[in-house]
């Protein structure tokens, strides 16, 4: 009986941990090794927002010089991880606002944001973020559709841990049932 309870408990635990995890989408891509790299920041239509973190593997320190399509776009302090958080509101296919106060010029299609600054190793690094400004899509009826939502996922993925907790509760119930059955016999 003990073996049956143990085997079924382990099977429940394995089933809970082997379940599919909910996919989380990020707006930044892998940064290649070294102190400079390229980050894909995604795409947005007018009214949408481009968000992400641009970071070299050698973390930035001090203010980082920002530029959009070669035009100066002010300075930004790095976050605690040494990267630069980017938030660009696409106002139209030719205009946007970087990190709220800085007006920048955009173009339909591919655009670039560059962050250049000193790393904690003392070298200068430049990270380029690419993004696409798309035109507003139209529906079959010809009406303009709303831009896709670019809201970041900030919640915790609790499904896997909930399944593991349920499996452990199930194991506990099986142990209690096994011990009660043994006492009755």
**What's the pLDDT tens digit per position in 123-161?**
888 888 889 998 864 334 444 555 555 665 566 677 778
pLDDT confidence of residue 153? 59
Between 30 and 177, name the one with better pLDDT.
Answer: 177
Contact 45, 134 (CB under 8 A): yes
Q: Report the relative pairing of strands 49-54 and 84-90 from DSSP bridges.
A: antiparallel
User: Which residue range forms the structural domain that includes residue 17?
Assistant: 2-22+157-184
pLDDT confidence of residue 22? 42
- Residue 59: inside a domain, yes or no? yes
- Residue 55: inside a domain, yes or no? yes
- Residue 152: inside a domain, yes or no? no
Sole residue written with tokens 């709303």: 146
Contact 90, 47 (CB under 8 A): yes
- Residue 43: inside a domain, yes or no? yes
pTM, whole model, 2 decimals?
0.54
What is d(CA 27, CA 50) in angstroms, rounded to the nearest whole number?
8
pLDDT confidence of residue 160? 79
pLDDT confidence of residue 82? 86
Residues 60 and 7 in one domain: no
Residues 108 and 44 in one domain: yes
Mean pLDDT, the chain, as a whole number? 76
Residues 98 and 129 in one domain: yes
Residues 161 and 117 in one domain: no
Check which CATH number belongs to the domain holding 71 and give it.
2.60.40
Res 93 pLDDT > 70 = yes
Residues 14 and 75 in one domain: no
Tell me how far apart the terminal alpha carbons of the chain are, to the nearest angstrom. Answer: 12
């Amino acid at each position: 009986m003990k073996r049956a309870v143990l085997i079924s408990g382990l099977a429940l635990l394995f089933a809970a941990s082997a379940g599919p995890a909910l996919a989380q989408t990020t707006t930044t891509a892998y940064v290649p090794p070294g102190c400079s790299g390229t980050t894909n920041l995604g795409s947005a239509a007018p009214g949408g927002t481009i968000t992400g973190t641009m970071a070299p593997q050698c973390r930035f320190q001090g203010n980082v010089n920002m530029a959009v399509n070669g035009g100066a776009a002010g300075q930004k302090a790095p976050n605690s991880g040494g990267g630069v958080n980017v938030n660009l509101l696409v106002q139209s296919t030719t205009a946007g606002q970087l990190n709220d106060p800085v007006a920048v010029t955009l173009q339909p299609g591919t655009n670039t944001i560059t962050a250049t600054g000193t790393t904690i190793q003392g070298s200068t690094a430049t990270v380029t973020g690419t993004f696409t400004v798309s035109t507003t899509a139209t529906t079959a009826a010809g009406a303009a559709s709303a831009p896709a939502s670019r809201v970041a996922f900030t919640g915790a993925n609790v499904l896997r841990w909930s399944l593991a907790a349920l499996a452990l509760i199930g194991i506990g119930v099986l142990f209690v049932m096994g011990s009660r059955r043994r006492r009755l016999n």
